[in-house]
Every structure is written in structure tokens, then in C-alpha cells.
């Protein structure tokens, strides 16, 4: 005998209704029933329960054929919230979004990077402020997702190795369990890939996202899911080796691609050549925009090495689409043709028609990706 799991069907129906309400502004019960192919009785029961929960409300009446008026209903988009928090080597960035995925509030706080415990303390203080300000609690907060620049154990909520935050094997999730809401921790590049993917999920199933920040990361989405590897360390493109006994990398090894292609390499090379002392990538960008020859030479040299990494990635995974994002998007946009030429000039196996290379359209997509995770988990039909 096949056992029918009624509560599962009920939950699936409810999620389908919420997703449809998110899509449409106002809709009648009859239309919900027609579009989702669920009986009107089931729709009515669900809507009644959602009203009791404060999730939906009646908004008006539509003149229907035959003179009867049909009541339209609407979802209260502020009935549920989600929080994304990105920990970077200098900042704690926080975004509060509502069920319609709109950003309601954001914070960016500088930290001293003086140990994970201090970063957590500062995070909790700011999180508490937001929680109080919006009266968030386990019934209206769907969860909090953290973006970490390093490898993480997603299931256990452990930071495995994040040298940019000077921490290793740290049980991060435990620190936030007092909030009694789902806590997710995920690698920064994975979240960027996830966010780009969510915005294009009707067109694509696979996506590679290469992130250039203080490190060099790779997020892999395969068959609509983040691919994390058997040991949660997939996508460490930055630590693939390109030289024997090469330049020292922040991870502790030598000859890693990241040692030649993280964002700070541009600053470092510029200071080395000019004996000046710029500290921020925006200064480099500014000089480049003023047609400064040195910045252009450095960038061209940088792109030659970076292209090697991308070429190797294409050889390994044969993707249709690679998105490059992070902190130097403006520079990349200006040099996209050079980049493509570098990548494909020595490749006899594939070409640009097979794999589209583009620069990310969103900034801080890791933070937005984090904020989306609890919502997607809530709406996902398993």
C-alpha cells in the first residue's frame, strides 16, 4: 500500500500558494486554484490558515462575470524576514530582506580583524540592534545566513579554514543558536554563484562564478544546486598551483593562483613600481580611469595570469557560462575583450560560442545570496 503523506502534501500546497502570491500582486482564490491546479476547497482552507498566521489579507474586490464580486487577496511581504551577514577581512555587512526579497535595511561595520571571537561579539551587537528595531523573533525571522571567505562545513556550520579571518576548525553556528532560528554558513564565492544563479534560474542549470576579492574564489552551481564537494572544499581555484616554488600565498603554501590574482596584487604591484603607497583598489581604479600607463601595464600582466586560471577551469568543467565578479568589476568590464582573447587564444578544444564569459552585474552578491538562502529554504518544495 502506498502511504500518502498528508502533511507533506499540505506543506507543498501551502508553499506553492505562497510562491504564487509572491509572484502576483493581488489574486483571487479561483485564479490560485486554476493556476496551481489545486481544488478550490484546498485553496480556501490554506488561505484561511495563512490569514490566521497574518501572512495574507483581503485587499479588494474584482468585478467578475455574472455580477458576483470576487475578493482578491494579497501577501503581506513583511510577514517574514531573512538576514544575510557577510564577514570580510575588514567589514561585517548585514542585509535584512523581506519575503519579497526586498532589502529593508543594511549595515556595514568596520572591524579590526583581531580574532574571530571579537568579530562575533561585534556581529551579535549589531544583529541585536536589527532584531530589536524590527521586532524579529523565531516566528517571523526565517533564518540568518553567513558568508565566509574560506572553506566551511555547510551541514555542521563549522568554519574549516578561513585564513582571511585568521580562523580554523571553528564551530561558528553554535555561537548563534541562542537566536532559535535556522543558521546557515556558506562560502562567499558559493553565495555569489547562488545569487547570480537565482536571478537566471529560468535560463540556466549550471553556473561558475569566479570571485576576485581579497582572495580568489570559485562558486559552482551544477544542476540547480551549489556543488560543495565530498569534503566541502570544492572550488578552491585560488589554491590550485601555477608555479613550483612560486610566490607565497596567504594560505601558507607557495605558487597558488591566488598569490598572483587576488585584488591586492594590483595594489602591491602598483606600489612596487611607482614607490607610492596606495591602499585601496578604488585609488588604482581612479588612476586607471585617468589613463595612467602603469596601471594599464599592471592590469594587462595580471589578466594574463588570471586568464590561465579561467582557461584551466574551462578545460576541467566545460561550462556554458562563467561569471566573474567581486571587487574589480569596473576594471574587468573595460578589459573584457582582452580577457576573452587571452582565454581562447591557446584553446583548440572550445571557443567563445560554447562558453560565455561575463562580468557580474551585482555587487556584494555574496551578501544578497546569503540573505536569499533562508527564503529559498523556506519556499523550496522538497
Query: Of the two residues 9 and 253, which places its CB atom closer to Zn ion in the complex?
Result: 253
Q: Which residues of 13-44 are buried (b: 16+ CB within 10 A; e: fewer)?
A: bbebbbebbeeeeebbbebbbeeeebeeebbe
Pick out residues in 200-239 that bind Zn ion (CB under 5 A).
Answer: 239
Could you tell me the smallest distance in angstroms from the CB atom of residue 380 to Zn ion? 34
Helices (DSSP H) in the chain: which residue ranges? 6-23, 29-36, 40-52, 116-133, 188-198, 258-261, 263-274, 281-289, 293-317, 329-334, 336-345, 365-379
Q: If binding is defined by CB under 5 A, does position 104 make contact with Zn ion?
A: no
Query: Of the two residues 222 and 251, which places its CB atom closer to Zn ion in the complex?
Result: 251
Query: Of the two residues 173 and 239, which places its CB atom closer to Zn ion in the complex?
Result: 239
Could you tell me the smallest distance in angstroms from the CB atom of residue 244 to Zn ion? 14
Query: Of the two residues 22 and 251, which places its CB atom closer to Zn ion in the complex?
Result: 251
Opening angle at CA 218, ends 213 and 220, nearest 5: 145
240: Cα within 13 Å, side-chain hemisphere: 16
Could you tell me the smallest distance in angstroms from the CB atom of residue 50 to Zn ion? 50
Query: Of the two residues 183 and 256, which places its CB atom closer to Zn ion in the complex?
Result: 256
Binding mask 234-273 for Zn ion (x = CB under 5 A): -----x---------x-x-x--x-----------------
Query: Of the two residues 213 and 321, which places its CB atom closer to Zn ion in the complex?
Result: 213
Pick out residues in 78-97 that bind Zn ion (CB under 5 A).
Answer: none
Residue 199: Cβ-neighbour burial (10 angstroms; 0-12, 13-18, 19+): middle
Could you tell me the smallest distance in angstroms from the CB atom of residue 85 to Zn ion? 25
Could you tell me the smallest distance in angstroms from the CB atom of residue 146 to Zn ion? 22
- Residue-by-residue DSSP string for 311-361: HHHHHHH--SEEEEEES-HHHHHHTHHHHHHHHHHT-SS--TTTSEEEE-S
Instruction: Compute how many residues bind Zn ion; rule: CB under 5 A.
Output: 5
Query: Of the two residues 7 and 231, which places its CB atom closer to Zn ion in the complex?
Result: 231
Pick out residues in 111-170 that bind Zn ion (CB under 5 A).
Answer: none
Could you tell me the smallest distance in angstroms from the CB atom of residue 301 to Zn ion? 20
Residue 206 CA to residue 108 CA, distance in Å, equals: 31
What residues make contact with Zn ion under the rule CB under 5 A? 239, 249, 251, 253, 256
Amino acid at each position: 500500500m502506498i502511504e500518502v503523506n498528508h502533511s507533506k502534501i499540505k506543506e507543498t500546497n501551502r508553499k506553492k500558494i505562497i510562491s504564487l502570491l509572491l509572484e502576483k500582486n493581488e489574486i483571487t482564490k479561483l485564479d490560485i486554484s486554476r493556476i496551481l491546479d489545486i481544488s478550490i476547497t484546498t485553496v480556501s482552507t490554506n488561505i484561511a490558515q495563512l490569514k490566521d498566521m497574518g501572512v495574507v489579507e483581503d485587499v479588494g474586490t474584482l468585478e467578475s462575470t455574472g455580477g458576483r464580486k470576487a475578493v482578491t487577496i494579497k501577501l503581506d511581504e513583511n510577514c517574514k524576514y531573512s538576514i544575510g551577514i557577510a564577514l570580510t577581512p575588514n567589514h561585517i555587512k548585514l542585509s535584512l530582506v523581506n519575503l519579497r526579497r526586498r532589502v529593508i535595511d543594511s549595515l556595514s561595520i568596520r572591524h579590526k580583524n583581531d580574532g574571530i571571537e571579537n568579530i562575533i561579539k561585534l556581529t551579535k551587537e549589531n544583529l541585536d540592534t536589527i532584531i530589536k528595531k524590527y521586532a524579529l523573533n523565531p516566528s517571523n525571522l526565517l533564518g540568518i545566513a553567513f558568508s565566509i571567505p574560506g572553506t566551511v562545513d555547510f551541514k555542521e556550520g563549522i568554519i574549516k579554514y578561513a585564513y582571511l579571518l585568521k580562523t580554523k576548525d571553528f564551530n561558528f553556528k553554535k555561537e548563534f543558536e541562542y537566536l532559535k532560528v535556522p543558521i546557515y554558513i556558506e562560502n562567499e564565492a558559493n553565495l555569489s554563484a547562488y545569487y547570480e544563479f537565482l536571478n537566471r534560474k529560468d535560463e540556466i542549470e549550471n553556473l561558475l562564478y569566479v570571485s576576485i576579492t581579497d582572495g580568489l574564489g570559485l562558486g559552482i552551481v551544477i544542476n540547480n544546486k551549489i556543488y560543495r564537494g565530498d569534503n566541502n572544499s570544492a572550488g578552491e581555484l585560488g589554491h590550485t598551483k601555477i608555479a613550483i616554488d612560486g610566490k607565497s600565498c596567504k594560505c601558507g603554501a607557495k605558487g597558488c593562483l591566488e598569490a598572483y590574482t587576488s585584488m591586492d596584487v594590483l595594489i602591491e604591484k602598483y606600489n612596487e613600481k611607482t614607490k607610492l603607497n596606495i591602499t585601496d583598489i578604488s585609488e588604482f581604479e581612479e588612476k586607471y580611469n585617468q589613463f595612467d600607463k602603469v596601471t594599464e601595464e599592471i592590469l594587462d600582466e595580471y589578466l594574463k595570469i588570471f586568464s590561465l586560471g579561467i582557461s584551466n577551469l574551462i578545460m576541467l568543467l566545460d561550462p556554458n557560462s562563467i561569471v566573474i565578479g567581486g571587487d574589480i568589476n569596473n576594471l574587468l568590464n573595460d578589459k573584457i575583450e582582452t580577457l576573452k582573447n587571452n582565454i581562447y587564444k591557446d584553446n583548440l578544444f572550445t571557443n567563445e560560442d560554447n562558453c560565455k564569459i561575463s562580468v557580474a552585474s551585482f555587487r556584494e552578491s555574496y551578501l544578497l545570496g546569503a540573505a536569499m538562502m533562508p527564503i529559498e529554504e523556506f519556499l523550496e518544495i522538497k
